[in-house]
Amino acid sequence: MNPTIQNQLNHRSIRKFKNIPLTSEEVNLLVDVARHTSSSSFMQSYSILSVTDPEKKAKVAVIGNQKYIAESGHLFIMLADQHRNQLIAEEQGFDTDVLGSFDRFFVASTDAILAAQNILLAAEAMGLGGVFLGSVLNHADQLIELFNLPKHVVPVLGIALGHPDQAPQLKPRLPREIMHFENTYPKLENVCEALKDYDAIVHEYYDLRDANNRVDEFTTQIAKGMTRKHPGRMQLLKFFQGQGFIQY
């Protein structure tokens, strides 16, 4: 099998790292991979923040409530960034009111997330490991202040990378037929029954995993997850509007 595809099929989130920081050459290579990612209309509406200050890295770990963030070999924060393009337009005398639209926020977020996926794929091809950090949005306002983000810049995702110090089992994924459709979205009925076998597989996965005693079935996790409302996450719209995004 093609080694790139094999790496993709073998993806595992790594949350325990050896005490070895990434070299500047490794970081630059990963940034270059991100720079060559496709972007909407070639606007390249994103930026990448490397967090190398130990104190700031520790604060991100507190915000994310994940100790391993501070212990990673390198921490990237992916930013939806229309500030640079705003300055370009204003310096040439163009109006930038469109940056308040949901469209330009969505474009910038998509650019940043696509680049993030390429970074992780490249890191895994280099023998590194990592994990995406949606947890950086637990208190987005604190992150905005911590990194002095200007208007029209918001964090959308973190990436903790490093030399793996664990080899977790491959996590079972949803069956292909429940998430891949042809030509139209089908009418889904009795979804829990359709996922009964998958629930058993996921239950066994958690039951056997050394690092975690969680034994919930997949459908139970999803149902319980609907009841969780992180207070910081529930204010994301307000925080992002405060940065000039999503005004209309």
The span from the CA of 228 to the CA of 141, in Å, is 20
Q: What does the pLDDT average to over 124-145?
A: 97
Q: Does residue 208 surpass a pLDDT of 80?
A: no
pLDDT recorded at residue 158: 98
The two tokens of residue 176 are: 């292909």
Terminal CA-CA length for the chain: 47
Q: Which of 62-66, 191-195, 212-216, 219-223 has the lowest mean pLDDT?
A: 212-216
- pLDDT tens-digit map of 225-238: 999 999 999 999 99
- pLDDT tens-digit map of 77-88: 999 999 999 999
- Domains of the chain, by residue range, sit at 3-168, 170-242
pLDDT-derived band of residue 211, with 50, 70 and 90 as boundaries?
low
pLDDT-derived band of residue 1, with 50, 70 and 90 as boundaries?
confident
pLDDT recorded at residue 215: 67
pLDDT recorded at residue 207: 74
- pLDDT tens-digit map of 56-95: 999 999 999 999 999 999 999 999 999 999 999 999 999 9
Q: Output the pTM of the full model.
A: 0.94
Range list of H helices, the chain: 3-9, 24-35, 54-64, 68-71, 83-91, 102-125, 140-146, 176-179, 191-194, 196-208, 218-225, 236-242
Contact 40, 107 (CB under 8 A): yes
Distances, alpha carbon 160 to alpha carbons 91, 136, 181, in Å: 36, 11, 33
Considering the segment(s) 3-168 as one domain, its CATH architecture is 3-Layer(aba) Sandwich (3.40)
- pLDDT tens-digit map of 7-44: 999 999 999 999 999 999 999 999 999 999 999 999 99
